[in-house]
Amino acid sequence: MNKIIVTGSCGYIGSHTVVDLIQQGYEVLSVDNHINSSPDVLNGIEKITNIKPKHYPIDLCDILSLEKIFLENPDVQGIIHFAALKSVNESVEKPQLYYYNNMVGLLNLLELTKKYKLNHFIFSSSCSVYGQANELPVTENTPLQDAECPYAYTKQAGERILKDICIANKLLQCIILRYFNPAGAHSSNWIGEDSINLASNLVPVITETAIGKRGSLTVFGNDYNTIDGSCVRDYIHVMDIARAHTMALQYIETNRNNTNCEVFNLGAGKGLTVLQVIKTFEELTDQKLNYKIGPRREGDVEAIFADIRLVNEKLKWKPEADISEILASAWAWEMKRSGKLIG
């Protein structure tokens, strides 16, 4: 049983990936400082898998505390690194916080990876690295444009750091996963998107509006050059993303990678506008959403969606859930955590 460190393990994508890893036979070491998550997520993971991972509630920026994990677990085989601050709006307001947290945490991990000779590293990146791309859909070779916000720049910089280190250290095997818009929840309803900070992603904002936690939903801009004027995004079920992380790990464990630093897009491979997603939710749930049109939001790009041929070819991965399944699982999770769904 390979032992894997998962940072940001109590966060949204991290927790779902921990479930998939456990179900695929891995032993997970959970690392999360709970700046934007709850340790209660570990109970949800245990309910799904019957295993509660060993947990370290530490900050990656504290390298001395971080090193204790490596000292206590000399048999650890690799790292999946999710832990990062991720709000576009907050990064615009607090850029120094984002540069410090996201970059120092990554550098500390890589320092210890080298010191303790760990060779498998999966990095959680984002489609935000593309900026406002000049071509759609974007491939892994699409030129990166200027980052639209500090959060996106930390992902661009993180990728560059990993690529440079992989050139210098041929033993390090790294996969960078650029995912698009994760949404939905585990089918058990024991875990889902439930950050401590106010959600800003479209799908949880939709479900929170529908359940009554928010008075209304704002569509940021209806004057973009899209089919209905609202932004276009590529929505992917969180469990499809989780599965891809496990498959990426297995890909480098079995030496199927061609180079020691490879990049893959994770998306549905097609774009939907904000208004199309709202309409789909209303039709699916028979819930009329109270939404209004607002001005464009700083840091948003007009349209982005993925070309996923490479990840399908190399990892044999493809998304299973469509937008209706994504929204249905998100709505079930919202009702469960709000006490309106029993079981």
Containing 114, the helix (H) or strand (E) segment is: helix 95-115
- For the chain, how big is the Rg over CA atoms in Å? 19
Judge whether 294 and 219 are in contact, CB under 8 Å: yes
> What is the C-alpha separation between 41 and 14, in angstroms, rounded?
10
Buried b (16+ CB within 10 A) or exposed e, 77-91: bbbbbbbbbbbbebb
For 104-195, strand residue ranges (E) read 120-126, 173-179, 181-183
Judge whether 271 and 232 are in contact, CB under 8 Å: yes
The question of whether 99 is a catalytic residue gets the answer: no
- Other CB atoms closer than 10 Å to residue 248's CB: what's the count? 26
Judge whether 189 and 333 are in contact, CB under 8 Å: yes
With H, G, I as helix, E, B as strand and everything else as coil, classify residue 339.
coil
> What is the C-alpha separation between 22 and 288, in angstroms, rounded?
39
Q: Which member of 56, 151, 153, 179 is catalytic? A: 151
> What is the C-alpha separation between 182 and 44, in angstroms, rounded?
19
**Structure-block tokens of residue 246:** 């496990």
Q: How far apart are the first and last CA of the chain?
A: 32
**Structure-block tokens of residue 51:** 């295993």
| Residue 11 phi, psi dihedral angles, 5° rounding | -75, 180
Q: How many CA atoms lie within 13 A of 99 on its CB side?
A: 8
> What is the C-alpha separation between 301 and 294, in angstroms, rounded?
15
Catalogue the active-site residues.
151
